Structure 1
Amino acid sequence: MAPKPLPNVLEIKPYVPGLAAESGYKLSSNENPLGCSSLAVEAIKTGLSQLEIYPDGGSNLLREAISERYGIDADRVICGAGSDEIFQMLARAFLAPGDEIIQSEYGFLVYKLVAQQSGAKTISVPEKDLVADIDAMLAAVTDKTRIVFLANPNNPTGTYLPFDEVRRLHAGLPEDVLLVLDAAYAEYVQKNDYSSGLEMAANYDNVLMTRTFSKIHGLASLRLGWAFGPAAVIDALNRVRGPFNVNALAQLAGIAALKDEAFAQKSADFNNAELDRLLPAVRETGLTVYPSVGNFFLVRFPQSDGKTAEAANAFLQSRGLIVRNVMAYGLPDCLRISVGLEDANTKVIEALQDFMAA
């Protein structure tokens, strides 16, 4: 008889990334269209002559660089192969069969995946106008709740919660429930009432903030993320973290990227200028376009024949525009479109104009 995996593993639907573009424009994975910092590229080149050497197992120099950049304690920082690995560490360290996690209805798919890996149940709380509903999330807390995940800004909706609402969520949670603030898109937000959660993670024993180098820093291919939080939580994560979990080239590139604040600002400025151009232009076609503070936006299509999200996706692909189908999120009538370079964004506008006019 063949070996059998655990029953909860067979229930997992593997994460499906955005489609790649063999030609045309890939606007399906929220990547930085400007690439990455030239300093990061040069740092990687310096590391190519030492590929036979194991990386720094504790990412010590990278954690020091994060500490210096954000004014936080390096001992309370942990690095991972993307934010995804940190979520997996959280599941290994804090979740057991029968436990529960809470997320908003359209939260990042990986939260549910890591919960399933540990045999825990995911409670998805309905949103209001594609924004997390704090009262509903608090009402969903039970004695089985171990982690509350909040992506802020949220992918795939592009919406965010003001900091006062995040604090209200935290204030209503039991002290033994961990609040994880996923701030992957924080650097793009230019709202006075927004905070990544860094201060909360510094001051509370049950708040962890996660960040990534994949978006604003353009290092998605290297898989690099980090988290900051209470010493006891970081200690637990280090106990389940694999040895040498962050490769040496990623560490070098991350350190260099943090130094290039001009590139990060240029990326944010470009993104927000293009969003200001894209959103009203797509709305003029008659489509519903939701406000976004990330490097992507969500478009809702009619359910009438020939104008559905599925039809639009096929039409965009015929124009060489690869966007993200979000059926897996429970949004079958929507498409998520990443902000690309100016030419790609113009082609998106023109394609959607033609699609709706046909």
Structure 2
Amino acid sequence: MTSQPQPKSWIASIHAYVPGKSVGDDGRPLVKLSANENPLGTSPAALEARRHGAALAPSLYPDPDSTALREAIGEVHGLDPARIVCGTGSDELLNLAAQGYAGQGDEVVYVRYGFSVYDIAARRCGATPVVAPDNFYATDVDALLACVTDRTRVVYLANPNNPTGTLTPRAEIARLHAGLPSDVLLVLDQAYSEYLSAEEDDHGLELAQTHDNVLVTRTFSKIYGLAGERIGWGYGAPGIIDTLNRIRGPFNVTLTGQAAALAALADTDFVVRSREHNARWRLWLAGELAQLGNHGVTVVPSHANFLLVLFEGAVSAEQAYAALMQAGYIVRWPKGQGLGHALRITIGEEAHMRAIATVLRDLVTA
């Protein structure tokens, strides 16, 4: 007999998600480059809409189905709004995918160095996470397919991937899907898709439009600059959307969140400026750090709004992390994901990128 409620056995195996830090170990506020937030902030139109939404009666529940937002998303992307579901960030939908389709005795597959939420999503519903080998920090489709068994229920793939920034080409996505059994759900996590050019698009939405076992998730947290509002959306076959609607929170997107997301979606100028700023300073910082290759510094090619930088020389990632913190910057040191030798650095403002490059150059060449 136990003297208190006991959690399910698999809950104890979950390592809680660790968010990006914004203060130093001494509590000192730092420039936050650890959470892939938009350095340009938020669209002025979205901010104004958010203020208007906050003026509405807070005693009233928001639209439980995010109807206007789903219709606007559908119009922008040429999708049927009935096949769109909104969530409390795309994280909610990623978790619901596992909850809806996997459980004890089932397996959930994802690539090594994938988004840490996938492991949590698998374990919280009692499923077994299965980690496929990577190909120099990128997705290896053959390795993923080799991990699929008759117990596999869900395969997660972020594209571009977080925390590596790597991109799986359109043809490889199609090959992965074609190699999966029809009863396995492929979840394409496209949190950073708006940073891609049209030529880089993996056509995941088209796959989801024509197949019953594909769910695409997206977020307003990154390029739209609405991370604090927690708004995501997913698109898939009617059966998938029906499943997620049955188990999601009933009022999961707030009044202000729906209003802000609607306005952000319409402010294409802000999205273009954010994409162009990111492309420019990602390329610049990658070029600066590539010059440190003789000192054991390697930059993984990125298609997102961050760089994964490897430290495999005399200077360790821990030392680089400490030096940046001393200089007033906090980045992500993803040691809990098997990347103790790496730092993930969000692309920030010009002054911040120049400072990061200077600190790291001075550190490794000293």
SS at 2:168's partner residue?
coil
The CA RMSD over aligned residues, in Å, is 1.1
The separation in 2 between residues aligned to 1:295 and 1:77, in whole angstroms, is 25
Q: Is the 8 A contact 2:138 2:166 kept in 1?
A: yes
More moved, 19-28 vs 287-296 = 19-28
Q: Residue type of the partner of 2:309?
A: V
Of residues 300, 303, 308 in structure 1, which corresponds to 2:310? Answer: 300
Aligned twin of 1:279: 286
Deviations 1:133-159 (A, max 9, x none): 111111111010001101000001110
Aligned twin of 2:116: 109
Aligned twin of 1:256: 263
Aligned twin of 1:334: 342
For the pair 1:270 / 2:277, whether they are aligned, the reply is yes
Q: Residue type of the partner of 1:41?
A: L
Q: Is the 8 A contact 1:186 1:196 kept in 2?
A: no
Q: Is the 8 A contact 1:161 1:194 kept in 2?
A: no
**Aligned-pair distance for 1:191?**
6.4
Aligned twin of 1:13: 15
The separation in 2 between residues aligned to 1:294 and 1:193, in whole angstroms, is 12
Q: Which sections of structure 1, spanning at least 5 residues, go unmatched?
A: none
Q: Residue type of the partner of 2:17?
A: Y
The separation in 1 between residues aligned to 2:114 and 2:11, in whole angstroms, is 21
Q: Which sections of structure 2, spanning at least 5 residues, go unmatched?
A: none
The separation in 2 between residues aligned to 1:23 and 1:149, in whole angstroms, is 35
TM-score normalized by the length of structure 2: 0.95
Q: Is the 8 A contact 2:168 2:202 kept in 1?
A: no
The separation in 1 between residues aligned to 2:95 and 2:144, in whole angstroms, is 22
**Aligned-pair distance for 1:194?**
3.1
Aligned twin of 1:69: 76
The separation in 1 between residues aligned to 2:270 and 2:343, in whole angstroms, is 29
Aligned twin of 2:155: 148
More moved, 201-210 vs 283-292 = 283-292
More moved, 239-248 vs 187-196 = 187-196
For the pair 1:163 / 2:165, whether they are aligned, the reply is no
**Aligned-pair distance for 1:23?**
3.0
In structure 2, relative to structure 1, the CA distance for the partners of 1:288 and 1:140 (3 Å cut) is same
Counting only pairs closer than 5 Å after superposition, residues 1-358 of structure 1 correspond to structure 2 as 1-21=3-23, 22-50=28-56, 51-190=58-197, 192-286=199-293, 287-302=297-312, 304=314, 307-358=315-366
Q: Residue type of the partner of 1:177?
A: V
- Identity value in percent: 47
Q: Is the 8 A contact 2:22 2:30 kept in 1?
A: no
SS at 1:192's partner residue?
helix
The separation in 1 between residues aligned to 2:253 and 2:99, in whole angstroms, is 18
Q: Residue type of the partner of 1:356?
A: V
Task: After the TM superposition, list the runs of 4 or more consecutive aligned residues in structure 1 that deviate by more than 6 angstroms.
Answer: none
SS at 2:199's partner residue?
coil
